[in-house]
Structure 1
Amino acid sequence: MTGWRPARFEDMAVLAGWIESPQALARWGGPSLTWPMLPGQLWQQIDAESFPSFSLEDNGELLAFGQLSPRDEAATWHLCRLIVAPHRRGQQLGDRLCRYLIERAIPLGATQITLNVAAGNLPAVRLYQRLGFLDNGPVNERGIQPMALQL
């Protein structure tokens, strides 16, 4: 059965296998994450205990992961560390992940949702644009485009 659940510590071992390089890790989670990834370290570094973190699974197989991070006294929530299993990309799971996280942020008082995307990741940029996200500032020196969605 496919369904959403709170992320678990054990998800980090699977997630670590989806990220193939230090550069990919920095694009996914920011420059403060360390390589090589150790699941316990990763759980701590992404602050999974504090931030609402969710996983999508199908019959025990992890398919997607994402987090919410509060900004601006909880009126703005940030979608972060979004990832879909490499062998399941192109199957609308990124869309499902974003919509699920947005739905979780609304009862928390969100009036705006933000995210960051690698400007060269055109499939992700197109997905976020389809969901209504707009550019929210210039691309930074790391090639990251901030985007925002007004609710």
Structure 2
Amino acid sequence: MVVTRPARARDYARLLEWVPDAPALYLFAGPSVTWPPTVAQFEEISRRPGLSAWMVAHDEYPAAWGHFDLTVGGASARLGRVIVDPRYRGQGLGHVLTRAVIEKARELGVDEVRLAVVADNEPAVRAYRRAGFTEFVDPERPQFTAMTYRLLERP
């Protein structure tokens, strides 16, 4: 069973351990966090209006192994700062995490989840496509691949 719980201040220190260098930080957080990252930066982000940060765990991996945040605005939520603990990558947990995102979005009452993934992060783009996200053009952010998941169109 997958467990999704609100991220706490102590979780941010753990997230920092999952990000080994500036390029990895950019893939995880985009331009909103600078190298070297600090717990204070993530705490500041967590206070943004409409944003909720989440940790994901699983029966087989009781310690949290994933993180994401959702920023709700009207009927839409923006997915950001998605990461899986490097020790557990390659085990299908990205798909599990994406399902947790969709379930949380449903709980929050949104109709759509949008995201912007660094365009050359092909593993992430493929994972989101497999999960049912579709691409759309965002001419203001060409360095990102913009994607959406419409909850009303899927069970």
Please state how far the C-alpha of 1:49 moved relative to its aligned partner: 8.7
Structure 2 residue runs of 5 or longer lacking an equivalent are: none
2:69 matched to which residue of 1?
Answer: 67
Alignment of 1:140-151 (within 5 A): 140-141=141-142, 143-151=143-151
| One-letter amino acid of the counterpart of residue 109, structure 1 | G
The CA distance in 2 between the partners of 1:69 and 1:2, in whole Å, is: 21
Which residue number corresponds to residue 105 of structure 2?
Answer: 105
Give the structure 2 partner of residue 124 of structure 1. 124
Decide whether the 8 Å contact of 1:69 with 1:77 is kept in 2: yes
Q: Flag the 1:48–1:93 CA change in 2: closer, same or farther, 3 A.
A: farther
Distance apart, 1:101 and its partner CA = 1.6
SS in 1 for 2:83: strand
Say if 1:121 and 1:32 are closer, same or farther in 2 by CA, change over 3 A: closer
TM-score (norm 1): 0.84
Deviation at 1:146, TM superposition (A): 0.7
Report the AA paired with residue 86 of structure 1.
P
In structure 2, the residue matched to 1:26 is 26
Shift of 1:48: 7.2
| Partner-residue secondary structure (3-state), 1:10 | helix
- Is this contact kept in 1: 2:135–2:145, CA < 8 A? yes
Contact 2:50-2:72 within 8 A present in 1 as well: no
Conserved in 2, the CA contact under 8 Å of 1:115 and 1:148? yes
| Residues 2-41 of structure 1 aligned to structure 2 (within 5 Å) | 3-41=3-41
Structure 1 residue 65: deviation in Å?
0.5
TM-score (norm 2): 0.82
Counterparts of 1:47 and 1:81, CA distance in 2: 14
1:1-49 C-alpha deviation (Å, 9 max, x unpaired): 9633211111111111111222322332121312212213322234379
Tell me the matched-pair count. Answer: 147
Amino acid aligned to 1:136:
F
When the two chains are superposed, the root-mean-square deviation of aligned CA atoms in Å is 2.3
Provide the C-alpha distance between the structure 1 equivalents of 2:67 and 2:11, rounded to a whole number of angstroms.
9
CA distance in 2, matches of 1:42, 1:23: 17
Quick check: 86-95 or 1-10, which moved more? 1-10
Q: Percent identity?
A: 35
